[in-house]
Amino acid sequence: MASTDSNILLSLAGVCRDYLSGETQVRALNNINLTIKRGEFLAIMGQSGSGKTTLMNILGCLDTPSSGSYSVDGHQVNALNVKELSSLRLKTFGFVFQRYQLLANYSAQENVAMPAIYGGMEKSQRLALAKKRLAQLGLTERSGHRPSQLSGGQQQRVSIARALINGAQVILADEPTGALDSASGQQVLALLKQLNRDTGTTVVLITHDALVAQQANRIIQMKDGHIISDSSQHQLPSDTPAPLGNCTPAAPLQTNTKQHIKCYPRISLWESLCLALGSLQANLFRTLLTLLGIIIGVASVVTMMAIGDGGKQQVLQRIEAMGTNLLQIRPGGRNIRASGEIATLTMEDAQFLTQLPGIADVSPEREARTTVRFGSNDYSGRARGITPAYFSMRNWEIAQGVFINNDDVERYSSVIVIGATVAEQLFPNTQNPIGEYVLMNNSFYQVIGTLKAKGASAGGRDIDDEVYIPITTAQLKLFGRPYLSSIIVKVSSTDLLPTIEATVTQELKRRHGREDFMVRNTATLVEAISDTQDTLTWMLGSVAAISLFVGGIGVMNIMLVNVSERRREIGLRIATGAKPSDILRQFNIEALMVCLLGGLIGVGLGLLISLVLQQAAIAVAFSLAPPLLAFTTSLLVGVIFGYAPAHKAASVNPIQALAEE
C-alpha cells in the first residue's frame, strides 16, 4: 500500500521479480520493501547478480514486479496503462546510463533535446532548453558536436543534461562512472551531488563500487535479490532468502487521491516526419538500396502499362480506319461455300440497301488476287472493284492524283488507284505514277491516284498492297461475273448498328429466300479486340507489379534489419518517455516515406523510359491511370510491408535493448 507520507516519492512493498531462464525460474528480487523520500541522494550497492539493476528498472517503470506493489508519488504503478507509464517516465525519471546511450547521428544538443519531443515541446523551445542545460554542465562549446567527438566524461555530462531536460524528479544513474577514468568519474559524481543539493532532485545511484557509494547520503546494500543493509536504518536483520512463491502478496489498490497522471498525446505528424527523415538520412546508402526496389517496380508498372495501352490504341486505330459504324455483308452462310453460283450478292442488293432508313451509304465490292505490271516490274497483290463510297467509308486519304468517281463507274472507265506498297514496287526511285498505264489481266489501266500508306490491318495483313478500279469495269474486264465479294453498309449512327443489322438480315433473307450471306458488325470487332488488348495490358501490368511486390518485401526486410540495428535507440526512446504508439508511427512513416519517394522517382523514371521508347517508334500511350495506380500501390506497399517492422520496433523491450552491446 502506498504510504500516506507526502514526502515519500517512491515506495515498494513486498516486491518480487522472477524470470524464466530456460525451464528454471530465477528470482532477481525477493521481498523488497523500500521507501525513497524526495531530495534523497542514495546509492544502491551490490555485486553483479545482486539485483540492483533489476531494482533500478522497476524504480524507473521500465519493468514491473512479479508480485508486490510499487507507487510513485502516490500513484499505484500496478494500475497504470502503457500511456500513463510512458508519461510517468517522461516527467518523473531521468536515466543516466553507464554507456551513455547517446544517438550517434545526433549532436549533443539534439541528444539532450530528444526526450522533450515526447513531451510535446516545440523544437525551438526544446533546443534552447537543451543548450541551457549543456551550459549549466559546462558544455556550451560542445553543443554542436556529435558523441564521437566528445570525451567519455563529456558524453556522460550530456546524458545527465538529457535526464534533466523534462524536469525529472528522480535521476536513476546506473554505474555512471563505470566507463570513465577516475578524474572524469569524480566530475560526474560531483555534478550529481550538486544537482541533488541545489535543485532537490532525488538521485538514485546504482554501483558496485564502495568508494562511489560513499558519495551518497544513504547506502542500500543488496545481495541475492535482498536488501541486506540500509544506512538510514543501520543494519537490517540478516533474513534468510524467502523461497520462491512466498513473496508478500501485492497490496490492494487504493483509490488515488492525487490528480491523475497527465497523458501526453502522440507526437505530432510533423515531428514523426522529421524523425523519420533524420533516420533515413543517417542510413543514406541503405535507404537508396531500399528505394531502388520500389523505383524499379513502379517504373516497370508505368512503362509496361504505357506500352500495353499504346499497342491497344494502335490496333484500334487500324480498325477505326475501316470505320466503326459499318456492317460488312459477305456471301455464304451455314454450310454454304462463298463461291460459284451460290455467291449471290449482287449490285441489285446493294442498290436495294441504299433505300433502307438509317443507312448513310453502301459500297459494293469485288476482289481477287491479280498481278499488276508496269514495264519490267510486276507486283502480285489484290485487285478490288469499288464505288467512290469505298474511300470515304474506309477513311482513305489520297497521296497523289484523285479518287475514282461516279462518272468512272457509269462509263466503265479503265482507271486505277493504287496502294502505297504497289506504287513503291511498280514505280521505284520516286517515279511519279500519275498518268502512267499499268497492265492487269491483259487490259491497260491508267493510274489516276495513289493512296497514303496505312500499314497492316488488325489481322496483320498489308492494307497497302491493293489496287482499286470501278466496280463496273471490274465485273466486265476482270471478273466476268456480276456477283459481289462483299457489301459494306455505313450506318448513320453507331447506336443504330444492332437495329440496322437485324433489318438488313431480314430484308436480304426475304429477297434471297434463304440466309446465304453473313453480316458482321465492326463495332463488335472493336469491342472484342479492345477487351483482348485490355487483358494483355493488365497482364503486362501484373507481371511488372510482381517486381513492385518484391520491392515491398525488400522494404520489409531492410526495415526489419533496421529495427534490429536500432534496438538500443528504440530502447532509449522508450526509456525517456516515448510511447509504443510513437515508435510504431515513426517506423511506419519511415517505410511509407521510402515507398513515397520511390513511387515518385519510379513514376518519373517510367514516364522517361516511355518517352524514349516512343522516340524509338514503339507504340506508347500516356494516361493518368497507370502512374496513379503504380504510385498508390507503392504507398500501399509501404503501409502493408512497413507494419511488421514497425510493430516489432514498438514491441522492443527497453531493458534488453539497452543492455545489448
The greatest distance separating any two alpha carbons of the chain, rounded to the nearest whole angstrom, comes to 135
Rounded Cα distance between 504 and 517, Å, is: 11
Whether 627 contacts 303, CB under 8 Å: no
348 exposed, middle or buried (CB, 10 Å; 0-12, 13-18, 19+)?
Answer: exposed
- What phi and psi, each to the nearest 5 degrees, are found at residue 135? -65, -40
Residue 224 and residue 258 share a domain: yes
Residue 284 and residue 254 share a domain: no
Residue 201 and residue 75 share a domain: yes
Residue 445 and residue 584 share a domain: no
Rounded Cα distance between 126 and 238, Å, is: 48
Query: How many independent structural domains does the chain possess?
Result: 3
Rounded Cα distance between 326 and 491, Å, is: 6
Task: Kindly state whether residue 274 falls inside one of the protein's structural domains.
Answer: no
Residue 336 and residue 293 share a domain: no
Task: Kindly state whether residue 506 falls inside one of the protein's structural domains.
Answer: no
Task: Kindly state whether residue 243 falls inside one of the protein's structural domains.
Answer: yes
Residue 37 and residue 89 share a domain: yes
* Assigned C-alpha cell, 552: 515491398
The whole-number pLDDT of residue 320 equals 57
* Assigned C-alpha cell, 90: 517522461
Residue 366 and residue 312 share a domain: no
Rounded Cα distance between 84 and 80, Å, is: 6
Residue 330 and residue 312 share a domain: no
Residue 302 and residue 246 share a domain: no
Task: Kindly state whether residue 134 falls inside one of the protein's structural domains.
Answer: yes
The whole-number pLDDT of residue 501 equals 87
Rounded Cα distance between 302 and 627, Å, is: 6
CATH of the domain at 24: 3.40.50.300
Whether 390 contacts 417, CB under 8 Å: no
> Three-state DSSP class for 416?
strand
Q: What is the DSSP string of 362-409?
A: EEEEEEEEEEEEETTEEEEEEEEEE-THHHHHTT--EEEE----HHHH
Task: Kindly state whether residue 507 falls inside one of the protein's structural domains.
Answer: no
Whether 166 contacts 577, CB under 8 Å: yes
The whole-number pLDDT of residue 526 equals 63
Residue 563 and residue 440 share a domain: no
Report DSSP state, residue 477.
I
Rounded Cα distance between 579 and 652, Å, is: 11
> Three-state DSSP class for 151?
coil
Task: Kindly state whether residue 430 falls inside one of the protein's structural domains.
Answer: yes
CA 286 from chain centre, in angstroms, equals 17
* Residue-range definition of the domain harbouring residue 431: 326-492
Taking the CA atoms of residue 421, residue 422, residue 428 and residue 429 in that order, the dihedral angle to the nearest 10 degrees is -50
Task: Kindly state whether residue 253 falls inside one of the protein's structural domains.
Answer: yes
Residue 335 and residue 300 share a domain: no
The whole-number pLDDT of residue 340 equals 44
Q: What are the per-10-residue average pLDDT scores of the chain (661 residues)? A: 68 91 84 92 91 91 90 88 87 87 91 90 91 89 92 90 89 87 86 89 91 91 91 52 47 45 74 83 80 83 80 66 74 62 78 91 91 91 91 86 93 94 87 90 93 74 88 88 87 81 91 86 67 69 72 81 86 88 88 87 89 82 80 83 88 85 60
Residue 596 and residue 535 share a domain: yes
Instruction: List the one residue out of 80, 63, 89, 69 whose CA is nearest residue 11.
Output: 69
Task: Kindly state whether residue 204 falls inside one of the protein's structural domains.
Answer: yes
pTM comes to: 0.65
